[in-house]
Structure 1
């Protein structure tokens, strides 16, 4: 049996399929947050990307969320962005619209993984169809509890963001500004390295 529940003959094992059906799980997702790529199983690809043939393939940008109800896209994207910055368990309820125009409610549950420096790198989870238990009220995202971050780690993140902003701006930046920023990053990095060895 593989990690995706397929037995050696290529079919989904009956026991696993029964368990998934009983739990209401209709799909799984895996986001590479660094490369901004989504990977879905067949169920998630059909519900979120409206194309089950995209299962197991890299999906980029808006194509990964085309199935989400138009009224839920903006707030969900904003709230997911906030959750990614915090890390930990992710939980959201929102609507999708199938290729046939059918509206379904999904519960998306997963975990956001961070690297040793607290940067989000990956998120994996499941989709559960909760249409039968939902009314037409608004969806939500349950925010994970914000972990206390060491000030030096936070400073490193802010300095990296500042350098990225300068690089992406396209504006001409005086060389002494870049040197000062790189020097600050070097000093902060040195402090982080010292702390990790104690």
Structure 2
């Protein structure tokens, strides 16, 4: 990994190292574009996409991903339009995480131009309703357990 990071151009290296440190610590998904110099005279653009997850039995963080050479696509004048995305993963599953993903899916469906009442809109709306009910039930259960303790 150290040899790989050494090939990243100095102007991009700090941002890359910061994002990778975050995702290796917290877990989650990342997408980032950056420049590399495989040789002193070559400049390449790459897109890295991956995910880090904590092993539940050992606690170790493991990651996997891909790196794609996108140099040719950057030659169209879009060199400063870079992908940078980092979605930290909370420890363990949570209804709040499910709700956030469902809201994100709803936004994507809206952006696709799906009409009100389309099968996709109905499905995601039903999921949002079900997740909301589950969150409410979990909160009600927590309130009941607090009253019992007090």
TM-score, structure 1 length as denominator? 0.39
Q: Which one has the bigger helix percentage?
A: 2
